[in-house]
Copies of this chain bind each other. A is one copy, B any other.
Amino acid sequence: MRATIITIGDELLIGQVVDTNSCFIGRKFGDCGIRIIERCSIGDDAETIIATLDRVLPTTDIVVITGGLGPTKDDLTKHTLARYFGCELVRDQATYQFVEQMLARRGIEFNELNKAQALVPDGCTVLPNRNGTAPGMWFDTTDGKVVVSLPGVPFEMEELITDKVIPRLIERFELRTNVHKTIITFGMAESVMAATIADWEDALPKQLHLAYLPNAKGIRLRLSCYDVEREEGLLMINKAFSELERIIPDYIMGYEDASVAEEVAKMLCERGATLAVAESCTGGRIASTFTSMAGASEYFLCGVVSYANSAKQNLLGVRSETLEQHGAVSRQVAEQMAEGVRQTAGSDYAIATTGIAGPSGGSDAKPVGTVWIAIASPKGTVSRKMTYGRIRTQNIERASTTAINLLRLVLLDKLDTVMSDAIL
């Protein structure tokens, strides 16, 4: 089963909005064996929308369109689809009442623009949207294909895909689910990993396809299995990954959406242990990473973002002599920050970071990108110096992930593991 995603909006072409919708749809469709053969973004222009539908429909079974359904004048998708499928726009009574009530609850006026949201092409099946004013629309073409139009607002689109579109597609095309699995690694450079696992990769069964997916959070390795029954495919993938776990055991964080932070959170919960963090250069990013995961209050006690030196002294007990003698970016200050927040919070473990995120503030001895990381634990305090590049947001992200990984190695008692900060 082949699908094509078309995202509509001038804002996608001129780069004011990142297209996360295609990503979500790709993942959900992949899970039920629908292969995305292309995703494309085009402008809010009726002729281009029609030309693109004409181009993609011959080679695909399903087309998902997102965007261009808002109440404002630049939104053309609904009118264009009505024209493409030769339909009239008619009021959908359920949508009309739903929008009226939704706006009343939020104290927003039910004006003409909002009323027009309840108009739909008479040939489509309406997919009710309980998170917004624009419903989804499902069209069956005369040659047995499906065209679905959804709002572009991510959380509205996501619920419609999950609750309405996928179940209808499974029924309509009698789909069987396909097999992908992804293993998450951190701390080994890509070229080193490719060399380390080359023999394993060469010995993979021919039905398995390996992909490397590097980003600042590590390297993900995905195995996909095609043309094999689901059960058998899963067995092949699991066997391959358990061999891989024996080859690079200390670099594996887990599977699928696992991250270093999730792995650490799980370990802390299992041990009933607690965490506090003291951040200078990472500026709250580590605290935010943990607290954005549900259940953080089980182990996360507190964080201190000690940007000013006075905050390092008052809130964390860093000694002024240490700041004077070694500077704020030093092993000594990182260790005192970790020990200080551990004591203040009364936590079992503590993470601290201090560094020069950039773009300015560097010196010859401590260039932009220099970061000291420390972990305080019941067994004592350890620290590491990392040297990153020139880009502030990158440095913050890398330092955060590496600091969380150092805590993971402390929890595993594996401090001799080489940590690479490179993704190369």
A contact residues vs B (CB 8 Å cutoff):
10-20, 22-30, 35-44, 48, 70-74, 102-103, 106, 108-109, 111, 113-114, 131-133, 153, 155, 180, 182, 189-192, 194-195, 201, 209-215, 220, 222, 224, 277, 279, 282-288, 290-292, 294, 296-297, 300-308, 310-311, 314-315, 344-346, 357-361, 389, 391-394, 396, 420-424
Judge whether A180 and B14 touch: CB under 8 Å: yes
Known contacts A113-B194, A288-B284; A14 and B30 CB within 8 A of each other = yes
Judge whether B40 and A40 touch: CB under 8 Å: yes
Judge whether B358 and A294 touch: CB under 8 Å: yes
Residue of B nearest to A42 (CB): B38
Please give, as numbers and ranges, the residues of chain B lying within 8 Å of A396 by CB-CB distance. Answer: 291-292
A38 → chain B, closest Cβ, in Å?
6
Known contacts A113-B194, A287-B283; A424 and B391 CB within 8 A of each other = no
Judge whether B301 and A302 touch: CB under 8 Å: no
Of B25, B288, B302, B421, which is within 8 A of A285 by CB? Answer: B288
Complex-state Cα separation, A210 to B321, whole angstroms: 58
Q: Nearest 9 pairs between A and B by C-beta?
A: A283-B291, A15-B26, A284-B287, A303-B305, A15-B27, A302-B311, A284-B284, A284-B288, A40-B40
Judge whether A314 and B344 touch: CB under 8 Å: yes
Residue of B nearest to A131 (CB): B389
Judge whether A192 and B108 touch: CB under 8 Å: yes
Residue of B nearest to A27 (CB): B15
Copies of this chain present in the complex amount to: 2
Q: Which of A16, A286, A290 has the most CB of B within 10 A?
A: A16
Complex-state Cα separation, A192 to B131, whole angstroms: 18
Please give, as numbers and ranges, the residues of chain B lying within 8 Å of A201 by CB-CB distance. Answer: 73
Residue contacts A-B, CB under 8 angstroms, 5 given: A15-B27, A37-B43, A155-B389, A301-B310, A311-B345
Please give, as numbers and ranges, the residues of chain B lying within 8 Å of A359 by CB-CB distance. Answer: 294
Residue of B nearest to A117 (CB): B191
Of B30, B191, B220, B282, which is within 8 A of A114 by CB? Answer: B191
Complex-state Cα separation, A384 to B211, whole angstroms: 49
Judge whether B36 and A71 touch: CB under 8 Å: no
Residue of B nearest to A397 (CB): B292
Residue of B nearest to A301 (CB): B308
Residue of B nearest to A75 (CB): B212
Complex-state Cα separation, A296 to B25, whole angstroms: 37
Complex-state Cα separation, A362 to B20, whole angstroms: 29
Please give, as numbers and ranges, the residues of chain B lying within 8 Å of A25 by CB-CB distance. Answer: 15
Complex-state Cα separation, A283 to B304, whole angstroms: 11
Judge whether A30 and B15 touch: CB under 8 Å: yes
Please give, as numbers and ranges, the residues of chain B lying within 8 Å of A311 by CB-CB distance. Answer: 301-302, 345
Known contacts A284-B285, A287-B283, A389-B131; A302 and B308 CB within 8 A of each other = yes
Complex-state Cα separation, A294 to B361, whole angstroms: 10
